[in-house]
Amino acid sequence: MMIFEPLVGLLALVNVVNGYVPRLHAKHAHPINRSSSSASSPLVKRDSDPSNMEWIKRWAAIGDSYTAGIGAGRPMGHQITADEVAIRVPDGLEEIRDNYKCSRYDMAYPKVIEAQFGAHVQKDGGFQYLACSGDRSEQIYQQAQALKGELDFVTFTAGGNDLCLAQIIADCIMLPYFKNSACETVIAKAQENVKSIIKDNVKQILEALDEKMNDDGIVVVNGYAQFFDTTSDNCDKQSWDVFWFLPLGASYQALTISRRHTFNQLVIDINSSIRDAVNEAAESDKISYKVGYAEWDRWVSNEVDARMCSPSSNGDYPDSNQPDMHFIKPDTHPWFNWASDVERDELRKRDMDLEHMLSSARLSTSERRQVKRLKAIMEARDRNLERTLYDSILYKSPNPNAAVRHKLNPRDPSPPGCPGDGGVDMTFGMGMPDHVGQNFHPNEAGHLTIASFALAELMDLRSIVLGVDSPACTVKDEFTCFSSTGSKYYVSGNKTNENYEEFCQEVADKHPSNTINWSYPKTYFEGTPEEHEYIVTLGNGVSAFDKDQCVESMKKLINSCDTSDNPMNWKCGGRYIRDEGDYKYELHPRRNNRPWPWPRAPYGRCEGWYKFVLGQYTVEGAGFSTWDYGQKTMLPNMNSCYGLGTTAWKFDYHDNPADHNGYEWKATFNTPIWVRARCWNNNKVVEAANGWTDGCKGND
Ligand SMILES: *[C@@H]1O[C@H](CO)[C@@H](O)[C@H](O)[C@H]1NC(C)=O
Ligand SMILES: *[C@@H]1O[C@H](CO)[C@@H](O)[C@H](O)[C@H]1NC(C)=O
Ligand SMILES: *[C@@H]1O[C@H](CO)[C@@H](O)[C@H](O)[C@H]1NC(C)=O
Ligand SMILES: CC(=O)N[C@H]1CO[C@H](CO)[C@@H](O)[C@@H]1O
């Protein structure tokens, strides 16, 4: 008999997505000794255990591209496959929709869940995978109708395409030229209509599923997640449009912070409509199965560095600086060297103005032809966008709800009539190559997250069916940035990033053995302004230490806090409690009197006086040389500027910078004569030390 252990599998899964869900499992899966539990002591499964999935024999995944998984892993199937399902499309045609046409991918969240379920699912037809990229609620409704019944579990996403979200993104982000206003209008309209269209449609899909579900069956509806980080203006400088290869490096500010907020808001609104639909359906007597809503957005938006336009990324995709990215995106860091920074900035400030480009004398003939062609395409596109915009239900209905009822078979969800339908626009889903369509969809990490949240919700609902306590009712992880509590203690991000791995390694090597509830502190840069302490504390009778979790937690503590308005990357530290208090990770900056607000640039002062055969110098500074007593930053650069010959070197950190005009340290020393102009007045030495003194007064 195959002993399939969903918890352990899920744990492995969850380790990948950084441990949100372990709250579910900590008690079961690693009571005291984490390393022993997964390998050697499988849990005894009882029918009353909500994490036991063996009751699931038949299940299905329906929905749009988020469930088809476009772009995640490898495409499933080829042009012709066996698993064809005929679906009635709105005009009554039967259409064959296979893996290939629907852009289903093998790392999509239903495939992840399928792997978790394992052998207890029926061999033939136990898993029906009808999700199809590009489908709107009406087609997803038909997917629901096409399902073969007696299902134990169904999961889906629906609604994103109803709001033309994909088209909006394509129009507003990837083809953002000209008719800016049409883009804004349609976003505003989508926001206005989100409640009525989506809620009703999702409810109707849920009702259509009722006859397909077994008694005690469970449906989990997954939300969407906010695409964009909004902490910095870096995306303004990236090139999101598909015509970035144009001459002059001209581009357009597609993703200003306010635009990103607008898109995110749309997702929040969609989520909220889906959740409302689920709640209403759960109350409704038209539905006899259990239904729940799984919101992975909480993870994406609050817990990991997962979104596009994160300050940690320069726009590359993939980007090793942002390993937790959850979305597929274009490489938006493609600047070539056609234009100087100045020209580029100038061009970015204006809206993309093709007329202006055409009148520029700098274009070559072939470039001019390219611009003209683009202009024609754009104009055609805009005529089309505008015409269809005003013709769409999305736009013109004063009461989309009523329009829907009037226009449709009352049992069919509303066709939204997206602006751009049938036009020359880029649309995601059918008709577009996947490498375009996959943008703004979850990548592999995104799908693991969706799967984790869907499974957690499934267990929650199962515990209701079983009448037992939900494993999810326990405390979740707690993450606190000290800056959010008003702390004015801070240290250098560069320095903390240098030593946390070493710290975790040291804990792994030296932590007390055969002891529970131990704590391991270590202080770095003691006595300097950068003094900070890392602490690992174990609770709940736990004794085992996981170095990888330590590294990952400390990294997150350092780098997800204090991310905005922070040009020098200062860090106020924080606390991360995981696994219901089994593990606590802390970073505490220890200096309580550093200049506040924190410096946005290093500063200092310098003076040097001619004294017989030597120069006598005083340098003070803040925001640089704050960790090494000048030994690694100042001295080597002095040596390389004027050779050896520094004497009487004295370097002290001020006990209270406020008593010294905000300078954090003072160095006094003698040099060979006449080095002021060469090394100090031009800031050469201090700049090389990552600092600044604005010249140097005196007469040496
Ligand atoms: C934890 O489990 C491992 C593997 O079974 C074992 O080698 C180790 O001694 C255990 N540690 C404690 C503290 O029980
Ligand atoms: C270990 O810590 C937990 C709290 O995390 C506490 O309840 C328990 O009493 C502690 N055990 C010992 C032996 O100190
Ligand atoms: C952090 O380190 C980088 C790379 O060494 C350096 O360029 C940058 O100036 C440092 N930042 C500060 C604030 O010292
Ligand atoms: C991160 C975030 O704002 N998520 C929201 C998604 O939508 C639901 C339903 O309205 C909100 O509760 C979440 O806060």
CATH number at residue 580: 3.30.430
pLDDT on residue 84:
58
Look at residues 214, 52, 66, 64 and name the one whose alpha carbon lies nearest to residue 143.
64
Map tokens 């912070």 to a residue. 257
pLDDT on residue 357:
66
The pick from 321, 492, 494, 600 for probing ligand 3's pocket by mutation, whose C-beta has the most ligand atoms within 8 angstroms, reads: 494
DSSP annotation of 267: H
661 lines ligand 1 (CB under 6 A): no
Look at residues 381, 314, 335 and name the one whose alpha carbon lies nearest to residue 354.
381
Asked if the model's pLDDT at residue 198 lies above 90, the reply is no
Residue 456 covered by a domain:
yes
Question: What is the Å distance from ligand 4's center to 295 Cα?
Answer: 8
* Ligand nearest to the CA of residue 265, numbered in listed order: 4
Least confident interval from 25-29, 182-186, 389-393? 25-29
Residue 569 covered by a domain:
yes
Q: What is the DSSP string of 59-70?
A: EEEEESHHHHTT
DSSP annotation of 75: B
Asked if the model's pLDDT at residue 546 lies above 80, the reply is yes
Round to the nearest angstrom and report the end-to-end CA distance of the chain. 87
Residue 472 covered by a domain:
no
Q: Which residue has the higher pLDDT, 357 or 565?
A: 565
Same domain, 539 and 653: no
Instruction: State the residue range of the domain holding 110.
Output: 2-466
Residue 562 covered by a domain:
yes
* Ligand nearest to the CA of residue 513, numbered in listed order: 1
Question: What is the Å distance from ligand 1's center to 342 Cα?
Answer: 61
Same domain, 109 and 212: yes
pLDDT on residue 426:
33
Listed residues 560, 589, 618: the one ending a domain: 589
Question: What is the Å distance from ligand 4's center to 271 Cα?
Answer: 6
Kindly give the pairing relationship between strand 583-589 and strand 603-611. Answer: unpaired
Nearest CA to ligand 1 atom 6: 36
Q: Which residue has the higher pLDDT, 476 or 12?
A: 476
Alpha carbons 476 and 473: distance in angstroms, whole number: 9
Same domain, 521 and 667: no
Look at residues 134, 14, 145, 10 and name the one whose alpha carbon lies nearest to residue 63.
134
* Ligand nearest to the CA of residue 264, numbered in listed order: 4
Q: What is the pLDDT of residues 516-535, one digit of tens each?
A: 999 999 999 999 999 999 99
41 lines ligand 1 (CB under 6 A): no
35 lines ligand 1 (CB under 6 A): yes
Q: What is the pLDDT of residues 270-316, one digit of tens each?
A: 999 999 999 999 999 999 999 999 999 988 998 889 999 999 988 88
Number of domains comprising the chain: 3
pLDDT on residue 349:
41
pLDDT on residue 385:
56
Length of the chain: 700
Spell out the SS3 assignment of 543-582. CCCCHHHHHHHHHHHHHCCCCCCCCCCEECCEEEEEHHHC
Question: What is the Å distance from ligand 3's center to 416 Cα?
Answer: 51
Same domain, 428 and 538: no
Nearest CA to ligand 4 atom 10: 272
Mean pLDDT calculated for residue range 261-268: 87
Alpha carbons 455 and 671: distance in angstroms, whole number: 69
pLDDT on residue 12:
33
Same domain, 583 and 614: no
Alpha carbons 102 and 430: distance in angstroms, whole number: 7
Question: What is the Å distance from ligand 3's center to 690 Cα?
Answer: 7
Same domain, 460 and 502: no
Report the percentage of the chain scoring pLDDT > 70: 70
Predicted confidence band at 513 (pLDDT cuts at 50, 70, 90)?
confident
Number of Cβ within 10 Å of residue 188's Cβ equals 13
Listed residues 548, 564, 589: the one ending a domain: 589
Residue 358 near residue 371, CB atoms below 8 Å: yes
Q: What is the pLDDT of residues 61-71, one digit of tens each?
A: 999 989 999 88
Alpha-carbon Rg for the chain, nearest whole angstrom, is: 30
Mean pLDDT calculated for residue range 494-522: 95
Listed residues 424, 443, 466: the one ending a domain: 466
Residue 473 covered by a domain:
no
CA angle 636, 638, 641 (to 5 degrees): 110
DSSP annotation of 413: P
Q: Which two tokens stand for residue 198?
A: 């989506």
Q: Which two tokens stand for residue 235?
A: 């995306």
Residue 150 covered by a domain:
yes
Nearest CA to ligand 3 atom 6: 690
Map tokens 């709800």 to a residue. 401
Same domain, 157 and 224: yes
36 lines ligand 1 (CB under 6 A): yes
Same domain, 531 and 402: no
* Summary mean pLDDT of the chain: 78
Q: What is the pLDDT of residues 547-560, one digit of tens each?
A: 999 998 998 889 88
Q: Which two tokens stand for residue 114?
A: 């399928």
Map tokens 């203690």 to a residue. 489
Alpha carbons 218 and 291: distance in angstroms, whole number: 6
Same domain, 98 and 119: yes
* Residue 342 buriedness (CB in 10 A; 0-12 / 13-18 / 19+): exposed
CATH at 319: 3.40.50.1110
Residue 597 covered by a domain:
no
* Ligand nearest to the CA of residue 518, numbered in listed order: 2
539 lines ligand 2 (CB under 6 A): yes
Predicted confidence band at 191 (pLDDT cuts at 50, 70, 90)?
confident
Nearest CA to ligand 4 atom 1: 298
Same domain, 171 and 53: yes
Alpha carbons 277 and 450: distance in angstroms, whole number: 19
Asked if the model's pLDDT at residue 244 lies above 60, the reply is no
Kindly give the pairing relationship between strand 59-63 and strand 127-129. Answer: parallel
Q: What is the pLDDT of residues 344-356, one digit of tens each?
A: 444 444 444 566 6
pLDDT on residue 565:
82
What per-residue string of b and e applies to 601-620 under the rule 16 or more CB within 10 Å gives b?
Answer: ebbbbbbbeeeeebbbbbbb
Residue 74 covered by a domain:
yes
Asked if the model's pLDDT at residue 28 lies above 60, the reply is no
Helices 547-559 + 493-510 axis angle, to 10:
160
Q: Mean pLDDT highest for which of 134-143, 177-186, 309-318, 624-633?
A: 624-633
Nearest CA to ligand 3 atom 5: 494
Q: Can you list the positions of beta strands (E) in 590-664?
A: 603-611, 614-622, 647-653
Map tokens 């140097």 to a residue. 696
Report the percentage of the chain scoring pLDDT > 90: 45
Q: What is the pLDDT of residues 433-481, one digit of tens each?
A: 566 667 788 999 999 999 989 998 998 898 888 877 655 544 467 888 8
Map tokens 């966008």 to a residue. 385
Asked if the model's pLDDT at residue 207 lies above 90, the reply is yes
User: H-helix or E-strand containing 535?
Assistant: strand 532-538
The pick from 36, 37, 513, 542 for probing ligand 1's pocket by mutation, whose C-beta has the most ligand atoms within 8 angstroms, reads: 36
pLDDT on residue 94:
55
Bridge partners, 620 (sequence order): 605, 666
Q: What is the largest CA-CA distance in the chain?
A: 100
Report which ligand 2 atom has the smallest distance to the Cα of 581: 5
Alpha carbons 103 and 46: distance in angstroms, whole number: 39
Bridge partners, 292 (sequence order): 220
What does each C-alpha distance from 596 to 131, 599, 657, 662, 672 come to in angstroms?
A: 54, 7, 10, 9, 37
What does each C-alpha distance from 154 to 51, 62, 113, 186, 289 come to in angstroms?
A: 17, 8, 11, 33, 11
pLDDT on residue 162:
76
Question: What is the Å distance from ligand 2's center to 534 Cα?
Answer: 21
Q: What is the pLDDT of residues 314-337, one digit of tens each?
A: 888 888 899 999 998 877 765 443
Bridge partners, 62 (sequence order): 156
484 lines ligand 1 (CB under 6 A): no
Nearest CA to ligand 1 atom 7: 36
Same domain, 557 and 641: no
Q: Which two tokens stand for residue 361?
A: 């004398």
Q: What is the pLDDT of residues 626-678, one digit of tens each?
A: 999 999 999 999 999 998 889 999 999 999 999 999 999 999 999 999 899 99
Same domain, 304 and 381: yes
Look at residues 45, 43, 29, 51 and name the one whose alpha carbon lies nearest to residue 456.
51
Residue 208 near residue 147, CB atoms below 8 Å: no
